[in-house]
Amino acid sequence: MEKRFDGRKFDELREIEVKVGILSACDGSAMFRIGNTIAIAGAFGPRECHPKHLQDPEKAILKCHYDMMTFSVPERKSPGPGRREIELSSVIRRALTPAIFLEEFPKTSIDVFIQIMQADAGTRCASICAASLALAEAGIPMRDLVSAVGVGKVNGKLVLDLTKEEEDTEGAVDMPIAIMPGKKKITLLQMDGKLSRDELEEAIKLGVKGCLQIYEIQKKALKEKYKVR
Ligand code: CDP
């Protein structure tokens, strides 16, 4: 196999489109599209945390709500978050938490709502990219943006940014990675399947390379929002 199903090189990302500030009802919002995967995120806060028993006197709490539109996948998704969506909300929250100065806002909550409009693999990574931009636009103090992408192994080759078709290939390995690029810190690393130690190191390098490309696109989209016209 020299090329991938969609003709991409092994280390090539899908086409990316990013828009910041798309929803006026939110403090911050963003759309992140990578190939046929589209995530929209809206952020609120810091604001008084309700119910009060969830308040942390030491810091803000971050709440993430991930869900998919019923029409986002070929087989209709039943409305409302199920087990998978609750798990992914927690994964996304953990990937974003290190980037936010939560300690500056005791007793408050910061809320991020993410909807997947269309899914073709990599929705948790697209969600993290969209959410970090929404948080930034909301003016929430952050150490860095968070950039994320899927890496994996398909037909024996390490590949960047898997599609659903690639993920469904027999024996495929899927490894989502998120980083704070400026801080050079990994905030999420998961793996579905098995890689050797050498492959894992290569896969991390490939993922970091992809994240750095995404970071540039995220920064450009954020600056675009504040461009003086
Ligand atoms: O989306 P992500 O790779 O982060 O998470 P996943 O749970 O591994 O899902 C992989 C892909 O399966 C999604 O991106 C969708 O394309 C697809 N999927 C689906 O077709 N129907 C669902 N109910 C859930 C996921």
| Ligand 1: residue whose CA is nearest its atom 17 | 121
Whole-angstrom distance, CA of residue 167 vs CA of residue 158: 12
Q: Which two tokens stand for residue 137?
A: 């636009």
DSSP 149-168: EEEEEETTEEEES--HHHHT
Averaged confidence pLDDT in the chain: 96
CA of 141 from ligand 1 middle (Å) equals 31
Question: How far is residue 204's CA from residue 180's CA, in Å, rounded to a whole number?
Answer: 14
pLDDT, position 97? 98
Alpha helices per DSSP H over 97-196: 123-137, 164-167
Q: Is the minimum distance from the CB of 122 to ligand 1 under 6 angstroms?
A: yes
The CA-to-CA distance between both ends of the chain, in Å, stands at 48
Model pLDDT for residues 104-121, shown as the tens digit of each residue: 999 999 999 999 999 999
| Domains observed in the chain | 16-223 (3.30.230.70)
**pLDDT under 50 in the chain at which residues?**
none
Closest CA to 155 of 10, 18, 7, 8: 10
- Residue 223 alpha carbon to ligand 1 centre in Å: 31
Q: Closest ligand 1 atom, CA of 84?
A: 7
Nearest CA to ligand 1 atom 6: 121
Strand-strand pairing, 61-68 and 108-118? parallel
Whole-number pLDDT of residue 1: 56
151 lines ligand 1 (CB under 6 A): no
* Gap between the Cα atoms of 131 and 29, Å rounded: 8
Quick one: tokens of 171?
Answer: 């024996």
Q: Which atom of ligand 1 is nearest to the CA of 121?
A: 14
Beta-carbon contacts of residue 38 (< 8 Å; ≥ 6 apart)? 31, 32, 116, 117, 118, 126
Are 96 and 138 in contact, with CB atoms under 8 Å apart? no
- What is the value of pTM for the model shown? 0.97
